[in-house]
Amino acid sequence: MSHRVVVTGIGVLTPIGNNLKEFSDGLRSGRDGIAPVTHFDASKHRCQSAGELKNIDFSAHFNAEELPYLSRGSRMIRVAAAQALAASGLDLSVEDRSRIGVVLGTNLGGMPADKAGYAALHYPYRRGRAKPEEPWRARVLESFICAMSDQVACQYGLGGLSLVMSTACSAGLHALGVAMDAIRSGQSEVMLAGGVDPLSEMPQAGFGVLRSLASDKLRPFSKDRDGTLLGESASLWVLESEAHAKRRGARVLAELAGYGGSTDAYHMTRPDETGRGPARAMQAALTSAGMKPEQIGYIKAHGTGTPANDVIETRAIKQLFGERTQVPVSSIKAMVGHSLGASGATEAAAAVVALNDGFLPPTLHLDTPDPECDLDYVPHRSRPAALEAVLTNAFGFGGNNAAMVFRRWEG
């Protein structure tokens, strides 16, 4: 028996809002969250801008003894988890927590923000000292990506399935999909899932070396696009079986109707120019949902702003939806940056916001039409829309593709 899966809570921290309401307001207004980097000295990097969290005081969420021992990634995902659980109304004291699992997507985990952090962790050993100084000694385990799901599981005493997905930029969406499958199969009735990646100097340098970063602004689908810009975010979701949500009278945000994945099997960084891999992922998500392309009212695109990705994603959409499709498509990365392993889950939250709040998030900075990117990308400003079903994409290095379908919940 396959169980329907519903979303009952979403917590988010993003450069345009530190909860779901603020995030929705930022999307609707087309807020640009990209700004000069403050986490580390970016003056010698190829790019000095990124999407950082703003107006977030972690001391309001953690006590003074605990705070120094938590990496930025752990702080972010634990705050998002608290938001999601509060929004869901789930009372863990009456739940069988041995069957509630955690699945998170991340690429960086508890990675230190700058070179000084790496020095604090690793250099003492090279000097013959026994161990790093406190609190960095505790951060050694925090630097492992598996620590992200463990942080949430330990915080709430959750003894079910615990996994971390690390499939580059699709990790967060794959995490939601794996959690969905655990509920559909009957393994769990409740799962916590999502993604987190903090801004860090290493990927800022690495993407610069790959010449993947924009010279000034992130311009998805625009002819003059020249790269992406990094960001940071955390998104944690409460997913439940329909039966479990109904038993406790939960407010449902949306149905997680379908999920699909594929791999280009082509190149470690360059996507297959045909778009066949992303098209397969989207088709798999539709098949999983029992839906046809014409039932989708909006596509939240991966839309990185890199020359290759945007045209290939456009080709993939046309393969599935038809050359003359009128389905609106938009990318929110010009507002929040690319938060790598967290982006799939965070941007899926934008798709649910669009479904519930009745608008299409805009694609900022789309100033110059590209003949190869000729769909309706909702340029510059958000647009009112009554939606019944939406699709969200996340495509990662190595050709790791994920797609997901959400339906409006009618009860």
Whether 279 is covered by a domain: the verdict is: yes
Q: Give every CB contact of residue 135 below 8 A, 6+ residues apart in sequence.
A: 68, 69
CA 331-13-117 angle, to 5 degrees, is 105
CA distance 94 to 261: 35
pLDDT of the residue at 141: 64
Mean pLDDT, the chain, whole residue set: 92
Whether 175 is covered by a domain: the verdict is: yes
Instruction: Tell me the pLDDT tens digit for each residue of 32-54.
Output: 999 999 988 888 888 999 999 99
Does 152 score more than 60 pLDDT? yes
pTM over 0.85: yes
pLDDT of the residue at 372: 97
Question: What is the separation of C-alpha 99 from the centre of its chain, rounded to a whole number of angstroms?
Answer: 25
Q: Give every CB contact of residue 145 below 8 A, 6+ residues apart in sequence.
A: 106, 107, 108, 109, 110, 164, 166
Whether 274 is covered by a domain: the verdict is: yes
Whether 128 is covered by a domain: the verdict is: no
Mean pLDDT calculated for residue range 186-207: 93
pLDDT of the residue at 211: 87
Instruction: Tell me the pLDDT tens digit for each residue of 57-93.
Output: 999 999 998 898 888 999 999 999 999 999 999 999 9
Number of domains present in the structure of the chain:
1
138-142, 255-259, 303-307, 315-319: range with lowest mean pLDDT: 138-142
Respond yes or no: is residue 302 known to be catalytic. Answer: yes
pLDDT of the residue at 368: 97
Does 130 score more than 80 pLDDT? no
User: What's the half-sphere exposure (Cβ side, CA atoms, 13 Å) at 244?
Assistant: 26
Respond yes or no: is residue 122 known to be catalytic. Answer: no
- Which candidate in 169, 244, 365, 373 is catalytic? 169
Instruction: Tell me the pLDDT tens digit for each residue of 290-300.
Output: 999 999 999 99
Phi, psi of 155 (to 5 degrees): -60, -35
Instruction: Tell me the pLDDT tens digit for each residue of 93-108.
Output: 999 999 999 999 999 8
Whether 122 is covered by a domain: the verdict is: no
Residue that wins the pLDDT comparison between 207 and 391: 391
Query: Where in the sequence is the domain holding 151, given as residue range(s)?
Result: 5-110+145-407
- Which candidate in 3, 174, 244, 302 is catalytic? 302
270-274, 287-291, 307-311, 333-337: range with lowest mean pLDDT: 270-274
- Which candidate in 47, 338, 365, 373 is catalytic? 338
Q: How sure is the predictor about 208, in pLDDT bands with cuts at 50, 70 and 90?
A: confident
Q: Give every CB contact of residue 254 below 8 A, 6+ residues apart in sequence.
A: 6, 7, 352, 355, 356, 406, 407, 408, 409
Q: How many CB atoms lie within 10 A of CB 11?
A: 29
Whether 34 is covered by a domain: the verdict is: yes
173-177, 333-337, 393-397: range with lowest mean pLDDT: 393-397
Whether 136 is covered by a domain: the verdict is: no
3-state secondary structure 8-41: EEEEEEECCECCHHHHHHHHHHCCCCEEECCCCC
Task: Report which DSSP code applies to 331.
Answer: -
Instruction: Tell me the pLDDT tens digit for each residue of 362-387.
Output: 999 999 999 999 999 999 999 999 99
CATH code at 28? 3.40.47.10
pLDDT of the residue at 109: 81
pLDDT of the residue at 210: 83
pLDDT of the residue at 119: 61
Instruction: Tell me the pLDDT tens digit for each residue of 109-129.
Output: 876 665 666 666 555 555 455
Whether 116 is covered by a domain: the verdict is: no
Respond yes or no: is residue 146 known to be catalytic. Answer: no
Q: Are 342 and 231 in contact (CB under 8 A)?
A: no
